[in-house]
Structure 1
């Protein structure tokens, strides 16, 4: 073998060279034929690496860094959830506007998913009250971006990063009528409160007629079957009154500074 011929890689010998790449150890046929620096500096490369799991970790990290950096000085805030399908002529839309307005007047930033429908309504209420209107959007094939009433917006690729921002920077949830996404956020919060991952975290369900069936099922089936405790159900405040909803948020900590 001449000096100009490369050493064969991966012949199966247990005594072959190995390569340490950070915490990862590679041997035999797993040792790449090129180095990281070489691949970095090559001009013409395929872009499959953009979709590889290690790169996704960096992208996930960047979403957390961006979210924490943007929201860390937000101040007292409450999250409002509800369906993107709520139309402006739906009574739930008007309730969302009123909830957003009252939260802003009480000194809270209003955080929503940033989309249309009930989310837009709460952002509109905060905007019209000259409060801080926040939208945490999510990349979806059928969404059109953040609504026009969002003053401070972040778009996320990953639901779990977005959920952390809602829970970390909100002092309570107000939940308007909604579908699977709204239910997902609702039960995520209830589960974290039940397991004491978050403490003193009020959860208000706006719309007695809409939510009463769910409350009845939780009480008559889930609680009756011993799957939850009475205190788990007591965490949920059910009301039609936006003022009562905001009082429930404030009661856990007193008025924000």
Structure 2
């Protein structure tokens, strides 16, 4: 609590221009270094699918096992897997990719709790970030699809980031697959009924940005179906 109070008080403290300018300038160099390392390390990984989901999901949970199965089947179809590099669904994704002898990438973030590297990431494809926004750029820039399992605020942030970038044509219209209808249906019923129909804050076609599925086979088939339209094949 004391640390939190200090951070809030610090935001209200008067700072002179030189102090602000110096602190921000050094932060820019750290941000640049994270972008450069990410671009250099990930630019040659080939077609991959980002898997999002909760860090809190335990190994015996059905969603963990489902994420592992999805990742394994993705690698058997030639795709690499990108996760946030931590425990839970992220670990399951990297574990399934490693089991399938496919590309297994982990984009870790420094957090005071929950987050730590899982042991299933390729040694040369393990990256660490201080800044969420840099990490999110890497999730989107180097993925050709997104599979999202149940999670918390971080998962929702990553999901809606991908949807917004596709909606605004800032990235390609890559497939977004939501796994677990029981978890996601209520949210997207609200999006349709309130955000679209009541408030008209999105367009009807925006509802087509995501597909809801329940099984690993459905998730992988949605990815394959998308690329078959363009006669593209992944890392075979």
TM-score, normalised via structure 1 length = 0.78
1:204 and 2:177 aligned: yes
**Structure 1 CA distance for aligned equivalents of residues 135 and 223 of structure 2:** 21
Partner of 2:81: 110
The question of 1:183 aligning with 2:156 is answered yes
2:144 corresponds in structure 1 to 171
Which position in structure 2 is the counterpart of 1:217?
Answer: 190
Paired with 1:150 and 1:230, the residues of 2 have a C-alpha distance of: 39
Query: Unpaired segments of 5 or more residues in structure 2?
Result: 1-16
Provide the residue aligned with 1:39 in structure 2.
none
1:256 Cα offset (Å): 1.4
Structure 1 residues 29-178: aligned runs within 5 Å: 52-151=23-122, 152-178=125-151
Are the equivalent residues in 2 in contact too, given 1:81–1:174 (CA < 8 A)? yes
Question: Structure 1, unaligned stretches of length 5 or more?
Answer: 1-29, 33-47
Q: Partner residue of 1:256?
A: 234
C-alpha deviation, 1:199, in angstroms: 2.1
Whose RCO is larger (CA < 8 A, sep 6+)?
2
Deviations 1:83-135 (A, max 9, x none): 00101111101100001101111111100001100110111100111111110
Q: 1:227 aligns with which of 201, 223, 231?
A: 201
Shift of 1:53: 1.3
Query: In terms of mean alpha carbon deviation, does 59-68 or 222-231 score higher?
Result: 222-231
Distance 1:191 1:200 in 2: 11
| Deviation readout 1:193-227 (Å, 9 max, x if unpaired) | 11111122110000010111011111111111211
Which residue is 1:44 aligned to? none
User: Partners in 2 of 1:184 and 1:83 — Cα distance?
Assistant: 12
Closer, same or farther in 2 for the Cα pair 1:99/1:169, shift >3 Å? same
Q: RMSD across aligned C-alpha pairs, in angstroms?
A: 1.8
Count of aligned pairs between the two proteins: 211
Q: CA deviation at 1:144?
A: 4.7
Q: Is the 8 A contact 1:200 1:252 kept in 2?
A: no
Q: Distance in 2 between matches of 1:62 and 1:247?
A: 37
Larger Cα Rg: Structure 1 or Structure 2? 1
Which residue does 2:210 correspond to in 1?
A: 236
Aligned to 2:14: none
Q: Deviations over 1:36-68 (max 9, x none)?
A: xxxxxxxxxxxx99x821111111100011000
